[in-house]
Structures are given as C-alpha cells and as structure tokens.
C-alpha cells in the first residue's frame, strides 16, 4: 500500500508551557525567570513596560477636533488648458471631465478652480470658481463669468 500525502510546509507555532514534547516545555518555558511577564497576561492598559505615554492618551480623541476644517483645497486648472475646449461652450465640471482636464471623482470631492496662468484665445461662459486674474483675461478675450 502506497500513500501519496502532501508534504507539510508550514510548522505549527510552539505552544509554550505545554510539556516537554511541545519544544517549549519545562521550568521557565522561554519567559525568563521572574516578573510580571513570566507569570501571565499583562493588561493592555498597563504602562510599566517600555511605554512613554499612556495607551489611552495615545489613542486619537477626535470627537470635536477638526469638525469645521475644510475638506481639502480645490483642483487647480491653468487658464491655458481651456484652449482644448471648443469656442463658445459653457465651462462647468461635466465639460472639464468630458475633455479629460480633471478626473470625475476628484472634481466631485474637492471641486475645481481656474487660475490665471497662461493665455486664452477663445470665448467661454465660465460656471466654476475662478480667480480675479483669470476672470480678467477671459473677459478681455470676449467671454463672460456666470
């Protein structure tokens, strides 16, 4: 009779203090000689073993902290990128996503703002937040801000 059994690759972890056959049995079973750690479990709130700050104090207490902070700064679009969009179109989030200027998920979370870096040659109706310098350049090109 021949058995084809698979080889055992992983060894079990040694269970300390379960007799000599366990590989970790007898006398101190790898725990050192005396002290609290050699005898049983230590409560996680115990602060005497190499901890500088209390466990409770290290846990983040976020109840009211950061409650009124902004979610994040808006995505910045340079004015020059608007030249990718056809003349006379109304610039809003959907149009910017359609032409691949911003990603849909990011724009929904953070919002969008157009800054006045670059030149614009086409007329647009802008329906997103915009800086003063960018607004001035768009109005000079014949566009308008909604």
Cα separation, 3 vs 83, in Å, equals: 74
Q: Is residue 60 part of a domain?
A: yes
114 and 131 inside one domain = yes
Q: Which domain holds residue 23?
A: 17-67
Beta partners for residue 126, in sequence order: 91, 145
- The 10s digit of each residue's pLDDT in 38-92 is 888 887 777 776 666 666 776 666 566 666 777 788 999 999 999 999 999 999 9
Assigned domain for 121 exists? yes
138: CATH: 3.100.10.10
Task: Round to whole Å and give the CA distance between 96 and 112.
Answer: 9
pTM for the model: 0.53
Residue 17's nearest CA partner among 27, 7, 2, 9 is: 27
Query: Does 139 lie in the same domain as 86?
Result: yes
Question: Tokens at residue 69, please?
Answer: 């902070």
Residue 62 lies in a domain: yes
């Amino acid at each position: 009779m021949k058995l084809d059994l698979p080889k055992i690759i992983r060894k079990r972890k040694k269970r300390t203090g379960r007799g000599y056959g366990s590989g970790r049995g007898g006398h101190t079973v790898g725990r050192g000689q005396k002290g609290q750690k050699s005898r049983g479990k230590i409560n996680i709130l115990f602060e005497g073993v190499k901890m500088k700050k209390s466990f409770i104090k290290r846990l983040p207490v976020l109840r009211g902290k950061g409650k009124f902070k902004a979610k994040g700064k808006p995505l910045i679009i340079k004015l020059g990128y608007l030249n990718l969009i056809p003349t006379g179109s109304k610039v809003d989030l959907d149009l910017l996503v359609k032409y691949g200027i911003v990603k849909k998920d990011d724009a929904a979370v953070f919002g969008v703002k157009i800054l006045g870096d670059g030149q614009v040659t086409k007329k647009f109706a802008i329906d997103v937040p915009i800086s003063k310098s960018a607004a001035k350049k768009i109005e000079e090109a014949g566009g308008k801000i909604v």
